[in-house]
Homo-oligomer: A and B are copies of this chain.
């Protein structure tokens, strides 16, 4: 089949490279940047281009775009998709995208499946994309109720060929709530942590935990601003909850309350061990 990939950044570029390297499908790419389009062709990430980004020739279209651009692209090309075409996005928030796209897909005879690859590196852009980006990763998928199960099975086999270890099917609501905690909150903490007054001198005083805390602060602020605001209810709640939990440690320390502080730390250690065990049973 013909697979179209729109948006050849870190994720879209990696999708194109993975499809081209690991399947027999024809990969047609598109990016608003002519430089990136020709880079993708020269690097053999794609077989050719989607003319003006039009999806008309494609059976499967993978979108590697920011959330609002994902919605805009689908609306702009609503009448261009082949009947029966399948469109899968990769945006990091799912409620806003899936809600706005559902009616457009139904009215125009194509299928939309929301997805979010749990993969990435602390860099952005086509330059850092790789065919092996998704090896071992989970693809979170948020299909509409009633999406054809045969299609979901075919997509599952397709994405596993790209390297994904598993697909996690869930609702857009659970996706957005979970991602606020596991990913977006980590990016807020990293960004806030690295701005400490003493960070210039960290290298002489760190055994690794500082680097862990600040790794993802090297983010693309334009993309993450959009992701954060599209999931603002969940994320603000997670930030405020973490702040409340951190304040308990500060209060215990100021009160020199060893028993409470030790209990707070013990609870954290036990939670850490408990969730590690959940992981080990996988």
Contacts and interface: CB of A to CB of B under 8 A. Distances in A.
Interface in A247-265: 247-250, 253-254, 256, 258, 261-265
A228 interface: yes
Interface residues of A, number: 95
A221 B273 contact: no
Interface string A124-161: 00000000000001101000000000000000000000
Interface in A157-187: 168, 170, 175, 177-179, 181-183, 185-187
A268 B140 contact: no
B202 A265 contact: no
B195 A182 contact: no
A274 B194 CA distance: 10
B199 A268 contact: no
B193 A242 contact: yes
Contacts of A120: 207-208
A245 B205 contact: no
Contacts of A119: 207
Prevailing SS type, chain A contact patch:
helix
Interface in A189-242: 189-210, 212-222, 224-226, 228-229, 232, 235-236, 238-242
A57 B207 CA distance: 33
A281 to B, nearest CB: 10
6 contacts: A117-B207, A186-B210, A188-B249, A192-B242, A229-B261, A239-B253
Interface of A: 117-120, 137-138, 140, 168, 170, 175, 177-179, 181-183, 185-210, 212-222, 224-226, 228-229, 232, 235-236, 238-243, 245-250, 253-254, 256, 258, 261-269, 271-276, 278-279, 282
Minimum-distance CB pairs A-B, first 8: A191-B268, A221-B265, A186-B209, A192-B245, A178-B205, A168-B204, A182-B210, A217-B272
